[in-house]
Structure 1
Amino acid sequence: MHRLAAGPALARLEWVLDGLDGKPGWGADASDVLAAAFTAVVTPERYVEVTRGRAAGYAPVVVVGLDVGETTARARIRRHDGTVDVVSCVVEAAPPHRIASTWVAGLVPAGLTPRLPVDFTDYDLPPVATGARLVVFSGVPGSGKSTLADAAGAELGIPVFATDWLLGALTPFGGRYFEAPLAMAEELLTTLALRQLLAGQSAILDHPTERVVTRERWRSLARRAGAEFRVVVCRCSDEEVHRDRLEGRSRGIPGWHNAGDWSTVRQRLANFPSWHGEALSVDTVRPRERSLAAVIRHITA
């Protein structure tokens, strides 16, 4: 396992991870590392035995996330089956900072309400008010979708939930280093959309929506909730204008970047799956007033 930065809690967490990594000779110093309050409940010998037994499911240890404080440290590590567990370690405040408690738990604790389904067709929903709309503004960065989504939301009095704002809020908590930020944003947006529809209210989702499975998920959510489903696909037919927008924009979203990378956006645009059926395609090179009028007609039809 790769060595991490120094610090009392982190140093002790590394010791635990060495055990889960199956390090030869690990645990010989357990009596010196574990605090008296800990060994009064679990003997050092028993703790070493259990930890070595768990190594079969982790070694070599792959750390996918880390949270560190003065007396606490947590690592998210991947099991061989692909699931993620959280290893927590609490140390005494005074030197030599022996381990007061340590435990391993699943990233998603047992007993929670199951996560939302990929397909809402058979999802149990209480009766909801009719007339609500679930509107998706789709397109690559710089295509103008956020500008149109905000304008449509203001015109119709519908709240706009935007990926960039959600992810920006998570930046102080390490959000930019999460493994799948767009998938995380999609889960947040799905939850917010469900909450709105359960209240009989409409929602606008501002998200690239490149994944077809996400499109079908939101379509099934709207259908199950008895809401109208509307899609607005934004594109910019003038490549030079698109690039200028992307590289010159300043949106002021806390914790998020302003300019985007043109080469990445071009690649995403080339691989962007076509929408079918109910989608309205809007070329945002056109005057904004004309585009907005077309969008409003589409949403309210």
Structure 2
Amino acid sequence: MIAGLPGVGKTSVASALAVRVNAVHLSIDAIEESILGCGLPRGRQVGVAAYEAARAMAELNLPLGRDVVVDAVNDSDEARQTWREAASATGGELRFVHLVVSDYEAHRRRLLGRDRGLVHVPEPEWRDVQSRRAEYAPWVDRHIEIDTSETPVDAVVECVIPRLAG
């Protein structure tokens, strides 16, 4: 589970990690994009539906022996419970990797002009990220925290892989 605020590199790291360990990659933003593309109105229910859809896909893949890498903000304990339930239902191991950018100016710059090619999921603005940061629930689960401020994606993946095994 790759977690963190928008703009910390979740999708890039999750995608590279999934390739590296031959895992299934599930992105909440891609699922939300699909749901919104069907004409449903933007809102909390779409976010919850995206988490539940990703959970269902994870639960289908884990019993097949596939590792699953999910990238999602996971800013509440309720969101994190989704992944606890998936691990419990399948006997899978859950590992949280929380990405941060400690240099706020670098984080802000990452969001400027960012275009992930999504039509229905808007790019967050800095004030949106700051608001989410203020409301981000503290971690109660064991987790790996990595500062991606000046660390390239491949280096983050190299750091994550051995720590996931332990």
TM-score, scaled to structure 2: 0.89
Q: 1:223 to 1:175 in 2, by over 3 A?
A: same
Asked if the contact 1:167–1:256 (Cα under 8 Å) also holds between the matched residues in 2, the reply is yes
Residue equivalent to 1:295: 160
Asked if the contact 1:169–1:254 (Cα under 8 Å) also holds between the matched residues in 2, the reply is no
Larger relative contact order, structure 1 or 2 (CA cutoff 8 Å, min sep 6): 2
Q: Which has the larger helix fraction?
A: 2
Asked if the contact 1:163–1:189 (Cα under 8 Å) also holds between the matched residues in 2, the reply is yes
Residue equivalent to 2:146: 282
Following superposition of structure 1 onto structure 2, how do residues 103-182 of structure 1 map, counting pairs within 5 Å? 136-178=1-43, 180-182=45-47
Report how far residue 230 of structure 1 moved: 0.7
Residue equivalent to 1:248: 113
Residue equivalent to 2:81: 216
RMSD of aligned Cα (Å): 1.8
Gaps of 5+ in 2: none
Asked if the contact 1:140–1:269 (Cα under 8 Å) also holds between the matched residues in 2, the reply is yes
Residues of 2 paired with 1:196 and 1:279: CA distance? Answer: 22
Measured against aligned partners, the alpha-carbon deviations of 1:258-294 in whole angstroms (never above 9, x if no partner) come to x321111101112211223420001001322332211
Report how far residue 220 of structure 1 moved: 3.4
Asked if the contact 1:247–1:260 (Cα under 8 Å) also holds between the matched residues in 2, the reply is no
Residues of 2 paired with 1:256 and 1:177: CA distance? Answer: 9
Match of 2:65 among 200, 210, 213: 200
Bigger radius of gyration:
1
Match of 1:262 among 117, 123, 126: 126
Q: 1:223 to 1:179 in 2, by over 3 A?
A: closer
Counterpart check, 1:190 vs 2:58: no
Gaps of 5+ in 1: 1-135
Asked if the contact 1:167–1:175 (Cα under 8 Å) also holds between the matched residues in 2, the reply is no
Residues of 2 paired with 1:166 and 1:277: CA distance? Answer: 25
Report how far residue 139 of structure 1 moved: 0.8
Report how far residue 179 of structure 1 moved: 5.1
Residues of 1 paired with 2:113 and 2:124: CA distance? Answer: 9
Q: Which amino acid aligns with 2:7?
A: G
Residues of 2 paired with 1:153 and 1:254: CA distance? Answer: 24
Q: Which has the larger strand fraction?
A: 1
